A and B are shown apart, each in its own frame.
Chain A
Amino acid sequence: MTETTSRICTFRVNGLLLGLKVSDVQEVVKSQHITPVPLAPPIVLGLVNLRGLVLPAVNLKWRIGLQSTENDCGIHVVLRHGTELISLPVDSIEDVVTLDNHRRANPPENLHLSLRDACAAAWDLGNQLLLELDPERLIRQRDSENT
């Protein structure tokens, strides 16, 4: 960890500012159509066709315990997970920001459990808080679901 800055791709879901490390993001695509998959676990919203590759679309709102809204604008962040790609529908894309690593902090304790579980870190941007998601934990089933 010799680098002093991190580059984060930021986006919004239900007004919440979220981000992913640029190195985990392959691309951002617009007007993606999601094909629903019957019998799929709740974390899978459906499948999307990315230039001939079929990727699962992860239900981010469900995963982090947010209200699902009928705001299907078709913007997806395509996430690298090992050798697989995962599509993450978001409400809007914000920016790619370069942040000093000393501003990185643990996610606040009082976050909703399922959101905190999916977070890798929190970045204080001065006027707002950016929650950085952990790709690995994100696609795990929501732990609180078992109880």
Chain B
Amino acid sequence: MPCDEATHVCESIDEIMSELDETLREFLIEGHESLGQIEQLMLSMENDATRADAVSGCFRLLHSIKGACGFLGLRHLEELSHAAESLLASIRSGEIAAGTSHINWLLQAVDGLKKLLALIETDGSDNAGAATVSQILANRSSYSQQAEPAKTPTAPPVRISQEIAQFHPNPPSGTSIKHDDIPAGASMLAEATVRIGVEVIDRLMALASELVLARNRIMQASDQIEDAGYQAATRQLNLVTSELQEVVMRTRMQPIANVWSKLPRMVRDLSRQIGKQCRLDLEGGETELDKTLLEAIKAPLTHLARNSVDHGIELPSIRMGLGKPAEGKIVLRASHEAGQVTIEMSDDGRGIDTDRIRAKVLSQRLATSDDLARLSDSQIMQYVFMPGFSTADRVTEISGRGVGMDVVKNSIESLGGSIDLSSTLGTGAVVRLRLPLTLAIIKALIVSAGNSAVALPQAGIVELMRLEGERRTRALTHVGNAVYLRFRSELLPLIDLAKTMGIPCSQESDTDAFSVVVVHAENRQFALRVNKILDSQEIVVKPLPSLLKGIPAYSGITLLGDGAIALIVDPVGVARLAGLQGRRNQAIRDDSKTPELTKNTRPLLLVETTRNRMQAIPLESVDRLEVFPVNRLEHTDDTPVVQYRGGILPLYDTSGHPGCPFDAERWTLGTVSVVVHQTPHGLKGLVVARIVDTVIESVEETGGMTIIRGSVTQIVVPETWLAGVPQ
């Protein structure tokens, strides 16, 4: 039965594959491919022997085969490819003008090489190929006699034939290898692998998903047809379709070893360069990931390895002193875990010194010591991912410029993954990356916004809420036209997805229930208002057609179960559309992210005053934002003060007349929010009820009123507002 035969072939291939060393297997596959190409090129040489590209093409391919032979200890294969290569070298340099006899011999050599490859495939070595090789080498006389003279008369006469004469003074005649001797389709391995363009696979994926949809429709319709044969056929269709989809998905997967095989060498060279000894061990290289993901993690992995060598592993002398082996060890480990891929890079170096991070955070004025005291060690380590942060004392060519870890974090997160750092001081650090298996399929929420259904990627979604009735009233705060969501003692800007994207929606009343998706992206949280959460499913991501590229609100398209098209919404893009600017994190000052300003626009800090009015303070006048417990307030003649950063911070209230002191006696809350402003005479504090956001607005002049987000807002310029205050 043909079926049995097929199974048998598969089994034998499996056996071969498991027996062969991975490297050897790759070599064989490549070797068969190269020989196929060489054959083509040689045939084209036969038509036009002067074709330099064909000659050097063959030469190059043979050369790489030969190179690998030495490495794999395949002596006979090496000998034969060397002989063929030498002849090609002479042809290339013009010493020999190749004629049919040369091509004949070269083709013989190619056949011999094929035979050797087949031999290696079965035996694991080419030891049994000695006879084949010597026979072909002997046949070199067949062309040397008939060698056409070189075109350049100055060229030495056919050097190669002399060489041959030395080796084989009496070449045996009539020993040419018959074509029949070489097994047809010499390799099972080569036939087990086919190279396919990614676009073909993408098309296959699309067709498979389309088949799934057709299957679904048939399954629904089949309930009405009571025919046992038909029922069985639909069940079969169901199974085959599911399996087909799975197999097509798998074609995109490649072992991670493909990207990280270069890392050990890089680590070795790098560590020598800086006088260290490091070794990189790889574990779990067979873990498979989507090809596009593999490409995307190449740079982050390289960066992490460099970091380990430069910052993690100590100098050999120091290591010896600590009782560690002189050679530092970095382990890169990949594994599948709960539908995700975990990549872990651990080193046995000095680890991450949280005290040094604390010191650096303080010296770079990224946070106050009060802030730091509240943070745990693992929270402190998050500073490593801040842009521009580096604890390295010196900037080397390898690392320490403070660019990098933030880039690594961003690129991993943009792939829908996460990065996590842990360390024990003195014994090493571990960086753990979690990545989805593929970018082509993501987990997504299908939500309705207005009368459309859109997909929201689940990566970055923190929480889902349904707001109705009393709960809705309690959760929402309105400031002018802006709406904020109370979420775990924080106020998050609430963005109406349908309104922001201009999706038409039916008239709604204030009491309608709706759902809220809380998103964490780019170091901030915000909430998206949607009508309803319809479903959570794995979706196949398709790229946007070029006519729709450049719309930041979308990251792709997908097809839903019923064949309907849904746009994949990028929450960050929507937030930008809604005018949300990256909030200046209270603990971090990130000057690189300050948007470019036009003449009349400037970033403003939007605040609500103690009398519930909106005010905007130019961000350039804001030194820091602080929250003080009321019991830290002390009273002088008329202005309350707090002790702050080793000085005295007088508090004023911008809701009053310019320079109005803060009236602490009437304040009923336990804390005060203070905008700290630096003047030449010291720091001044402006008390506000609430920090709302930062906005970029065009401001006609300093001071006065303007409309921001639909609310009349007073512009307060601390310099002029505080002008009357006694120094």
A residues with CB within 8 A of B? 35-41, 43-44, 47-49, 51-56, 58, 84, 86, 139
For the complex, give the distance between the alpha carbons of A54 and B557 in Å.
8
B residues with CB within 8 A of A? 206-207, 209-210, 213, 452, 501-503, 542, 545-548, 551, 553-554, 557, 559, 563-565, 567, 577
Contacts A52-B206, A53-B206: A139 and B559 contacting too (C-beta < 8 A)?
no
Query: B559 near A54 (CB under 8 angstroms)?
Result: yes
Q: What residue of chain A has the Cβ atom nearest to residue B206's Cβ?
A: A52
B547, B551, B565: the one contacting A35 at CB < 8 Å is B565
CB distance from A110 to the nearest CB of B (A): 30
CB distance from A38 to the nearest CB of B (A): 4
**A-B interface, 5 closest residue pairs, ranked by CB to CB distance from nearest:** A52-B210, A52-B206, A35-B565, A56-B545, A38-B501
> What secondary structure prevails in chain A residues at the interface with B?
strand
For the complex, give the distance between the alpha carbons of A49 and B566 in Å.
11
Query: A39 near B206 (CB under 8 angstroms)?
Result: no
Contacts A49-B563, A54-B557, A54-B559: A37 and B209 contacting too (C-beta < 8 A)?
no
Query: A84 near B545 (CB under 8 angstroms)?
Result: yes
CB distance from B394 to the nearest CB of A (A): 48
The residue among B210, B553, B563, B565 with the most chain A CB atoms within 10 A of its own CB is: B565
* Set of chain B residues within 8 Å of A40, measured between Cβ atoms: 547-548, 551
CB distance from A141 to the nearest CB of B (A): 10
Query: B567 near A37 (CB under 8 angstroms)?
Result: yes
A38, A39, A49, A55: the one contacting B545 at CB < 8 Å is A55
* Set of chain B residues within 8 Å of A52, measured between Cβ atoms: 206-207, 209-210, 213, 559
Query: B565 near A43 (CB under 8 angstroms)?
Result: no
CB distance from B468 to the nearest CB of A (A): 26
A sample of 30 inter-chain contacts (CB < 8 A) reads: A35-B564, A35-B565, A37-B548, A38-B452, A38-B501, A38-B503, A39-B553, A39-B577, A40-B547, A40-B548, A41-B547, A43-B547, A44-B547, A44-B548, A49-B564, A52-B207, A52-B209, A52-B210, A52-B559, A53-B206, A54-B542, A54-B545, A55-B545, A56-B545, A56-B547, A58-B547, A84-B545, A86-B545, A86-B547, A139-B547
Q: What residue of chain A has the Cβ atom nearest to residue B556's Cβ?
A: A54
**A-B interface pairs (CB < 8 A), number:** 57
Query: A51 near B551 (CB under 8 angstroms)?
Result: no
Query: A51 near B210 (CB under 8 angstroms)?
Result: yes
For the complex, give the distance between the alpha carbons of A79 and B210 in Å.
21
* Set of chain B residues within 8 Å of A43, measured between Cβ atoms: 547
For the complex, give the distance between the alpha carbons of A30 and B480 in Å.
49
Q: What residue of chain A has the Cβ atom nearest to residue B569's Cβ?
A: A38
CB distance from A145 to the nearest CB of B (A): 15
* Set of chain B residues within 8 Å of A86, measured between Cβ atoms: 545, 547
Q: What residue of chain A has the Cβ atom nearest to residue B212's Cβ?
A: A52
* Set of chain B residues within 8 Å of A39, measured between Cβ atoms: 501-502, 551, 553-554, 577
The residue among B210, B213, B547, B548 with the most chain A CB atoms within 10 A of its own CB is: B547
* Set of chain A residues within 8 Å of B548, measured between Cβ atoms: 37, 40-41, 44, 56
For the complex, give the distance between the alpha carbons of A1 and B502 in Å.
48
CB distance from A15 to the nearest CB of B (A): 27
* Set of chain A residues within 8 Å of B567, measured between Cβ atoms: 37
For the complex, give the distance between the alpha carbons of A40 and B502 in Å.
10
Q: What residue of chain A has the Cβ atom nearest to residue B454's Cβ?
A: A38
* Set of chain A residues within 8 Å of B547, measured between Cβ atoms: 40-41, 43-44, 56, 58, 86, 139
A38, A47, A54, A139: the one contacting B502 at CB < 8 Å is A38
For the complex, give the distance between the alpha carbons of A47 and B503 in Å.
15
* Set of chain B residues within 8 Å of A35, measured between Cβ atoms: 564-565
For the complex, give the distance between the alpha carbons of A84 and B202 in Å.
14
CB distance from A92 to the nearest CB of B (A): 25
* Set of chain B residues within 8 Å of A36, measured between Cβ atoms: 452
* Set of chain B residues within 8 Å of A44, measured between Cβ atoms: 547-548
CB distance from B447 to the nearest CB of A (A): 14
* Set of chain B residues within 8 Å of A51, measured between Cβ atoms: 206-207, 210
For the complex, give the distance between the alpha carbons of A135 and B209 in Å.
30
Query: A49 near B551 (CB under 8 angstroms)?
Result: no
For the complex, give the distance between the alpha carbons of A41 and B563 in Å.
24
Query: A84 near B546 (CB under 8 angstroms)?
Result: yes
* Set of chain B residues within 8 Å of A41, measured between Cβ atoms: 547-548
For the complex, give the distance between the alpha carbons of A135 and B380 in Å.
57
For the complex, give the distance between the alpha carbons of A43 and B553 in Å.
18
CB distance from B512 to the nearest CB of A (A): 21
CB distance from A35 to the nearest CB of B (A): 4
For the complex, give the distance between the alpha carbons of A73 and B206 in Å.
26
CB distance from B203 to the nearest CB of A (A): 8
Q: What residue of chain A has the Cβ atom nearest to residue B213's Cβ?
A: A52
For the complex, give the distance between the alpha carbons of A36 and B206 in Å.
21
For the complex, give the distance between the alpha carbons of A43 and B502 in Å.
17
* Set of chain A residues within 8 Å of B501, measured between Cβ atoms: 38-39
Q: What residue of chain B has the Cβ atom nearest to residue A48's Cβ?
A: B565
For the complex, give the distance between the alpha carbons of A36 and B483 in Å.
28
* Set of chain A residues within 8 Å of B213, measured between Cβ atoms: 52
Q: What residue of chain B has the Cβ atom nearest to residue A83's Cβ?
A: B199
For the complex, give the distance between the alpha carbons of A38 and B547 in Å.
13
Query: B210 near A47 (CB under 8 angstroms)?
Result: no
The residue among A49, A51, A52 with the most chain B CB atoms within 10 A of its own CB is: A52
For the complex, give the distance between the alpha carbons of A26 and B210 in Å.
19
For the complex, give the distance between the alpha carbons of A101 and B567 in Å.
44
* Set of chain B residues within 8 Å of A55, measured between Cβ atoms: 545
Query: A54 near B565 (CB under 8 angstroms)?
Result: yes
* Set of chain B residues within 8 Å of A54, measured between Cβ atoms: 542, 545, 557, 559, 565
CB distance from B571 to the nearest CB of A (A): 15
| Other 20 A-B pairs with CB < 8 A, given A38-B502, A41-B547 | A35-B564, A37-B548, A38-B501, A38-B503, A38-B553, A39-B553, A39-B554, A39-B577, A47-B557, A47-B565, A49-B563, A49-B565, A52-B207, A52-B209, A52-B559, A54-B545, A56-B545, A56-B548, A84-B546, A86-B547
CB distance from B541 to the nearest CB of A (A): 11
For the complex, give the distance between the alpha carbons of A136 and B213 in Å.
33
For the complex, give the distance between the alpha carbons of A106 and B577 in Å.
44
For the complex, give the distance between the alpha carbons of A72 and B571 in Å.
33
For the complex, give the distance between the alpha carbons of A121 and B547 in Å.
24
CB distance from A52 to the nearest CB of B (A): 3
CB distance from B524 to the nearest CB of A (A): 22
* Set of chain A residues within 8 Å of B542, measured between Cβ atoms: 54
* Set of chain B residues within 8 Å of A58, measured between Cβ atoms: 547
For the complex, give the distance between the alpha carbons of A49 and B209 in Å.
12
* Set of chain A residues within 8 Å of B210, measured between Cβ atoms: 51-52
